[in-house]
Amino acid sequence: MNQNSLPIKTEYKDSAIVSFFLSLLIVLVFIQTSDQFLHWFLFPVTLCGILIGIDAVDWFRGRLGIFDPVGIIGLLGFHFFFLAPLFHVSWDFWMGGDATPPPDWRPWIGWMAILNFLGLWIYRLSRNIVFQPKENPAKQTVWQLNRRRFIPILCFGLMLSAVLQLLVYQKFGGITNYIEAATRAARREGEGEFAGSGIIFLFSESFPILAMMGFAAYAQKNQKMRSWTVLVIVLLVFIVLQMLFGGLRGSRSNTIWALFWAVGIINFWIRSITKKQIAIGLVFMVFFMYLYGFFKTGGLEGVSTALEGQEARATLEKKSGRSWQGLVLQDLGRSDVQAFLLYRLMQPTSDYKYAWGHTYYSALSMLVPSVFWPNKPPDKIKEGTEAQYGMGTYHPQLWASSKVYGLAGETMLNFGPMVIPFAFIFLGVVVGNVRRLLFTLSPADNRLILLPFLVNYCFVILVGDLDNQIYFLMKNGGFPFIVMLLSTDKIIVSKSQKENYLSTDSAKTMKLKGK
């Protein structure tokens, strides 16, 4: 049976066994380090690790493709739902702020783990229902790249992006002033300096990914461009471009997500990526995110100080709040934020009134330009602040909490804790649909170049709020999608004609998708 046609409902009992013993081994290691783990919270957290770990094990064993969203969520979810809560307790590292923390975090970590465990079951069920690819359909629509049209459209897009980015730099009086403005915004000292620039950033910061799309189209026709030496150089150039086109504004996530997309383009359009190469890339990514945190709050001076030595770096970590622990637990997790929200909402003295969908409504208002809707409703910052500090504490000009709450956290703000498991239906539906695209698209289909972006979106759903999701989709994917759509011919092919649209490399890619 072709691995590409393996139904997702197939259960790998041996992977469940491996996940069970792996999670148990990790728990035993943590128990040896502290008596804090002799607590009931460990049981539901471990169950979460076992359940989501099945997908991670399948990915490592080659039963899921490198960019299969089920495997990606399995890998990241193993940290998000299992490792992060354990490290929080081990390091006694929790969210900052003036809000009074719970006397003991562990019960609330445990209750969140119970809700997440139920949510993970619903996620698996919903994604399996959605993912039902048809076996060899009689006809299929293929989005084929029209290269004659693609080149002028791409060149126009690159020029538009470059000109707009130059105008952005000119507005701030040069790159140095631009970095200083971004640093002030990161410290919440000058956020208004970038207000109203979203539509410009949508076009101006798309240059790197457009350039990568152009290179991929060229490399498909030029064998010499497919060597790893060339590809590594291209990725390094891509990172430099990404810094110049938006990265200097201090957004780590935008830079990392763009690099993920670029690597995915190489995997689907040029040559396959191996797990070893991904492991090397992850080491680079974590180190980059760590240094980038200092850049975000201190600019170039912050990075320079961080590289001076351990003592200078420790002082800078304390001053800026940027540390390895913060990177691992707060940038790539939401355990403490969600546990704290649960604690606050369950207190008898809590006066918080659920938003009943208001945060989603305000997030959708982002799609309407302020020119047409000048007085938009306050965003999720209002609900987040009042949930943490009490009703009436939100004062946008004086004090507000800007935390990101994640899928479960935003659900709590709107409907309360009991609805959290059902919120995972949305994650399951998106993952199921993206995986169906992965398995059903022809290898010659133009949409493959957008697939890594959609896989990335699956994780953004888990860690971000709806406003983060909309920003991610529109700002990062809007302009590249327009360029690709305008450069595409939609062709309906029959089963017998399908082979005419598959090159040797494309056929190889098709097989790799099922690994």
Query: Looking at this protein, which amino acid is placed at residue 276?
Result: K
Residue 508: per-residue pLDDT: 40
3-state secondary structure 233-285: HHHHHHHHHHHHCCHHHCCHHHHHHHHHHHHHHHHHHHCCCCHHHHHHHHHHH
Residue 75: per-residue pLDDT: 93
Residue 4: per-residue pLDDT: 41
The pTM assigned to this predicted structure is 0.86
246 Rama sector, left if φ>0, alpha if ψ -120 to 50, beta otherwise: left
Question: Which residues, 6 or more positions from 152, have their beta carbon under 8 angstroms from its beta carbon?
Answer: none
Question: Which residues, 6 or more positions from 461, have their beta carbon under 8 angstroms from its beta carbon?
Answer: 407, 426, 427, 430, 469
DSSP H stretches of helix in 68-206: 69-78, 84-91, 106-130, 147-172, 175-186, 198-204
- The strand pair at 139-145 and 488-494 is best described as antiparallel
Exposure of 19 in the CB half-sphere (CA atoms within 13 A): 26
Nearest C-alpha neighbor of 205 from the set 213, 197, 196, 215 = 197
DSSP for residue 330: I
Residue 511: per-residue pLDDT: 40
Do residues 336 and 105 make contact, with C-beta atoms less than 8 angstroms apart? yes
Nearest C-alpha neighbor of 486 from the set 141, 205, 163, 146 = 146
Do residues 456 and 153 make contact, with C-beta atoms less than 8 angstroms apart? no
Residue 115: per-residue pLDDT: 97
Question: Which residues, 6 or more positions from 97, have their beta carbon under 8 angstroms from its beta carbon?
Answer: 388, 401
Residue 1: per-residue pLDDT: 33
Nearest C-alpha neighbor of 60 from the set 292, 347, 279 = 279
Residue 444: per-residue pLDDT: 79
Residue 411: per-residue pLDDT: 96
List the pLDDT tens digit at each of the 515 positions of the chain. 333 434 444 456 788 999 999 999 999 999 999 999 999 999 999 999 999 999 999 999 888 889 999 999 999 999 999 999 999 999 998 887 777 889 999 999 999 999 999 999 999 999 999 887 666 666 777 888 888 999 999 999 999 999 999 998 888 888 888 877 777 666 555 556 666 677 888 888 899 999 999 999 999 888 888 888 999 999 999 998 998 888 777 666 778 888 899 999 999 888 888 888 888 877 777 777 777 766 666 666 666 666 666 666 666 666 655 666 777 787 788 899 999 999 999 998 888 999 999 999 999 988 887 777 878 888 888 898 888 888 888 887 667 777 889 999 999 999 999 999 999 999 999 999 999 988 888 777 888 889 999 999 999 999 999 999 998 999 889 999 999 999 998 887 765 555 555 443 333 433 444 33
Residue 367 is encoded by which pair of tokens? Answer: 């799609």
CB count in 10 Å sphere of residue 137: 12
Do residues 126 and 9 make contact, with C-beta atoms less than 8 angstroms apart? no
How does pLDDT run across 273-288, given as a tens digit for each residue? 888 888 887 777 777 7
How does pLDDT run across 182-192, given as a tens digit for each residue? 776 665 555 56
